[in-house]
């Protein structure tokens, strides 16, 4: 499958994520959510015709009198209830309004932005009959750093993150609240400040926005990045402690890691897949070394690194034990807390 295209945005230094049919990586979602990259909907005419065809199929079904879930019928257990034609235009607003019952803390700006990004990616596949204008507005909101205030409690994701995603749909129509530069403001006011008019959602659009697992997927992306950062920090701290207490660096020698060539072992030990990285032969200052630099540390790091591979884009170095110890040995890293502060920031 094609990967998402990245190109330099015109007149700006940030990267650009073009959303359409291509796959998107975790680090791309995070880059947009953090404001490090912009997001745009694919403008390719062939792709846009696909989106138009999806919307046309829905409208054709409605014209032919076919039952359409969430448009001419109720939702969930109310699916057997027919919605009168005169009331169908009211359903998009009613649907998002009666799901506005979330509670708990509000998601942070990065988390909420990630939710919007993941929802755009899902809708952009073209199977939800959502107009391009709606997806472009979602991209525009992320670019302007206008994100919905989403309570973190209210969904188990069993049939979609209906309640939390209703706050995203509400922002589009100018209802509830938005988070702008750390300030909570009424959604309509946030749109007015940006010179944007509230959208009028057409049949099926609010359901399409709400009925997905974009909240849990977005939070998983954020959690993955945090776990990867903690894994780097754990390796760094292990190396620092080993050095500080005159531990035995031979516990991290390539021979041990090669005996159990798990992916996480290779990453934590600083080896390439062929085990070609030399660890060095500095004799230990302690005959056996303390518990912290024993094979137990290798086992823990192996498990974490296997589950959390280093795929998150991050320019920082010093992410494996052997590499950090080599840097200490060569004098390239002073023996103080500077490295800890860098990794923990």
Active-site positions read: 69
Could you tell me which of 232, 246, 260 has the C-alpha nearest to residue 323?
232
Task: Report, in angstroms and rounded to the nearest whole number, the Rg of the chain calculated over CA atoms.
Answer: 25
Distance from C-alpha of 284 to C-alpha of 325, rounded to nearest angstrom: 12
Number of H helices, E strands in the chain: 14, 8
116, 148 contact by CB (below 8 A): yes
Question: CB-based burial of residue 169 (10 Å sphere; 0-12 exposed, 13-18 middle, 19+ buried)?
Answer: buried
Element (H, E) at 39: strand 37-41
Beta carbons of 19 and 39 less than 8 angstroms apart: yes
Helices (H), 21-130: 26-33, 45-63, 91-97, 109-123
Say if residues 322 and 270 touch (Cβ distance below 8 Å): yes
Alpha carbons 178 and 325: distance in angstroms, whole number? 47
Contact 271, 253 (CB under 8 A): no
d(CA 115, CA 118) in angstroms, rounded, equals 5
Nearest Cα to 293, choosing from 242, 235, 234? Answer: 242
Q: Tokens representing 102?
A: 């979330």
β-strand partners of 56:
none
Instruction: Give, rounded to a whole angstrom, the gap between the first and last alpha carbons of the chain.
Output: 36
């Amino acid at each position: 499958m094609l990967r998402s295209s990245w190109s330099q945005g015109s007149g700006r230094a940030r990267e650009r994520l073009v959303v359409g049919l291509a796959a998107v990586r975790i680090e791309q979602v995070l880059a947009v959510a953090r404001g490090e990259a912009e997001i745009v909907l694919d403008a390719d005419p062939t792709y846009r015709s696909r989106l138009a065809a999806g919307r046309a199929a829905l409208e054709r079904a409605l014209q032919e009198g076919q039952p359409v879930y969430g448009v001419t019928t109720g939702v969930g257990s109310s699916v057997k209830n027919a919605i009168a034609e005169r009331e169908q235009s009211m359903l998009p607003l009613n649907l998002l309004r009666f799901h506005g019952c979330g509670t708990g803390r509000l998601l942070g700006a990065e988390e909420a932005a990630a939710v919007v990004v993941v929802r755009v990616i899902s809708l952009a596949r073209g199977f939800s009959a959502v107009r391009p204008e709606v997806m472009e507005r979602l991209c525009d909101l992320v670019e302007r750093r206008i994100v919905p205030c989403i309570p973190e409690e209210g969904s188990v994701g069993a049939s979609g993150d209906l309640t939390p995603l209703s706050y995203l749909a509400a922002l589009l129509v100018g209802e509830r609240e938005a988070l702008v530069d750390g300030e909570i403001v009424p959604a309509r006011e946030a749109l007015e400040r940006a010179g944007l008019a509230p959208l009028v959602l057409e049949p099926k659009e609010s359901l399409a926005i709400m009925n997905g697992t974009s909240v849990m997927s977005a939070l998983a992306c954020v959690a993955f990045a945090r776990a990867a950062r903690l894994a780097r920090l754990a390796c760094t701290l292990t190396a620092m402690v080993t050095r500080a207490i005159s531990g035995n660096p031979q516990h991290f020698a390539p021979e041990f890691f090669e005996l159990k060539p798990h992916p996480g072992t290779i990453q934590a030990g600083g080896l390439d897949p062929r085990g070609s990285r030399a660890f060095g032969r500095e004799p230990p200052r302690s005959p056996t070394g303390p518990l912290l630099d024993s094979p137990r540390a290798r086992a823990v790091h192996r498990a974490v690194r296997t589950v959390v591979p280093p795929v998150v884009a991050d320019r920082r170095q010093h992410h494996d034990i052997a590499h950090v110890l080599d840097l200490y040995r060569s004098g390239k890293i002073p023996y103080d807390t500077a490295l800890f502060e860098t990794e923990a920031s």
